[in-house]
Amino acid sequence: MESTHTPGPWKVVFPNQRGPLGDWHKEASPWVETSKGTPPIRQNVDHPGIFDAERLANARLIAAAPDLLDFAARFEAAVGFLVAGLPTNHAVAKDLIGLRDTARAALSKAKGGEA
């Protein structure tokens, strides 16, 4: 799948940890970093009013985004193949079509479309 986002892998970098770009993280909150792309990307996940546990959860979700995007694209394609061999009124086909549509909506949202 082609994409315009910075490719992964992305990594959550914690305070007092060396990141993929080679320098030490000295801020109080986590950041997300990748050495891929030009230029490399580093994003602080510090927002006023968000507590440490939520900052960390946000950083982990952001770091997983490229993998989740790839999974959604491959899953959507695989489900399309599976559904093609089943009658549309089959219970499993209905479940798979629902999952495929959820993957398509997530892919559209990731690419700037509406979910």
Q: 38-52, 69-83, 92-106 — which is least confidently predicted?
A: 38-52
Torsion on CA atoms 87, 91, 92, 96, rounded to nearest 10: 90
Residue 2 lies in a domain: no
Residue 34 lies in a domain: yes
Domain count, the chain: 1
* pLDDT top residue among 109 and 7: 109
Residue 73 lies in a domain: yes
The pLDDT > 70 percentage for the chain reads 65
Q: What is the pLDDT of residues 36-71, one digit of tens each?
A: 665 666 667 766 666 677 777 888 888 888 889 999
Task: Give the global pTM.
Answer: 0.69
Residue 36 lies in a domain: yes
Q: Which domain holds residue 100?
A: 11-110
Residue 106 lies in a domain: yes
Residue 5 lies in a domain: no
pLDDT at 1: 42
pLDDT at 102: 92
Residue 3 lies in a domain: no
